[in-house]
Amino acid sequence: MVTVEDPGDAGAFKDFVPEASSPAAAAPEPASQASAPTPAPVSAPAPATAQPSASGDRVIASPRAHTLAKEKGYGEISALRIVGTGPGGRIIAQDVLDYDPSSAPAVAEAVASQPAAAAAPAKAAPTPLPQPVAGAGYTDYSLPPSAIELASRLHSSKQNVPHYYLTIDLALDSLLELRSSLNSTMKEDEGITVNDLLLKAAAAAMKTVPSANASWMDSFVRVYDSVDINVVVGNGSSLYAPVIRDVGSRGLKAVSDDFAAATAAVEDSEETPTAAGFGDVGTFTMVNVGMFGVKSCAPIIREPQACALALGVIENRIVPNDDVDSEEIYKESVMMTATLSCDHRVVDGAVGAQWLSAFKNHVENPMTLLL
């Protein structure tokens, strides 16, 4: 708008157009436009959630963690989404205790939503081991993951478990006679072995001394009702300890069939056997080193078990004659040496001696195994 003093001068400004306002005269912009936008608050990062590996990486966990996972009904620890807090990401017992199963479905859905191309194959081909590396006066040989895991478990067990050892000699004459009698009524390829009878004898000893069929659980001792025996078979990198279930309550032939099937699975498989019982932990372990001519052995206890039994070579020995009617002072007998390793937290010396005495009684009086 133009203001004049004389009304006659108004016509001179008839076509007047005001110029655009300069930037200095421009009205100030709203503060919301002039100032830089305020960044949105950043929320704290969510806790790390373990994701299943798409490359099939092996899960490293302590023996105690494996045991806790099974005791709590979670199954194999490799199937869980647990973040390990131990050295190198190792899953320890506390990680299993802190695990919340309710978070597993959400993780599983997230994994399922990923493209199929990112999913791991159902069964990846076994990765061949690298070739041996020769050095100056030595050669380095790579180990399969199963051998590395076994070494880790044995190392942990030897450190954690206070071992002590008891040894006894066993006369097998009566046991061999019973075996021969039983096999005479069976087919040639279905015979009972000495190992089968010794398995039954170990289970029978557990019935006599049930406190040896137990585990150390940190704040209490758990005693098991069923005698499930891990039997070590194979050798070297093909060393396995399948479980023979409920040996004490089943018949000798059923136990023999299970043990034969486990042995055949190891001999016929080029990879890790997947038959029932492989990879499981029982309540007791038995290993027979007699096939190598070894007289005795002090085995390492497999956590969380409390005992492990090692059997030596079967051999003829000259022993004192216990027949009071015989004129001979000595006699020849078929003998074996057995060594029991015990966890002193669970099985003290007196209990261990009672178990070994009961085992000897069943071996030298084998008819008790048929009752």
**What integer pLDDT is reported at residue 88 of this predicted model?**
62
**What integer pLDDT is reported at residue 261 of this predicted model?**
86
Average pLDDT over residues 258-287: 75
DSSP collapsed to 3 states, 130-159:
CCCEECCCCEECCCCHHHHHHHHHHHHHHH
**What integer pLDDT is reported at residue 269 of this predicted model?**
58
Residue 71 pLDDT exceeds 50: yes
Does the active-site annotation cover 66? no
**What integer pLDDT is reported at residue 24 of this predicted model?**
43
Mean pLDDT rounded to a whole number for the chain: 79
Residue 118 pLDDT exceeds 50: no
Give residue 16's pLDDT band: very low, low, confident or very high (50, 70, 90).
Answer: low
Does the active-site annotation cover 95? no
Residue 237 pLDDT exceeds 70: no
Token readout for 82 is: 């647990």
**What integer pLDDT is reported at residue 107 of this predicted model?**
41
Q: Residue 338: name the closest of 153, 172, 157, 158 by CA.
A: 172
**In the chain, beta strands by DSSP E:** 133-134, 139-140, 163-171, 214-216, 221-223, 229-231, 243-244, 284-288, 307-311, 315-320, 330-343
Q: Above pLDDT 90, what percent of the chain?
A: 46
Tens-digit pLDDT profile for residues 309-326: 999 999 999 999 988 888
Quick check: 213 and 284 in contact, CB under 8 A? yes
**What integer pLDDT is reported at residue 171 of this predicted model?**
96
- Tell me how far apart the alpha carbons of residues 283 and 152 are, in angstroms, rounded to a whole number: 20
On whether the pTM is more than 0.75, the answer is no
The one catalytic residue in 169, 257, 280, 344 is 344
Point out which residues pair with 305 in neighbouring strands. Answer: 215
Of 55-64, 101-110, 173-182, the least confident: 101-110
**What integer pLDDT is reported at residue 63 of this predicted model?**
67
Q: Residue 243: name the closest of 189, 305, 296 by CA.
A: 305
- Containing H/E element for 61? none
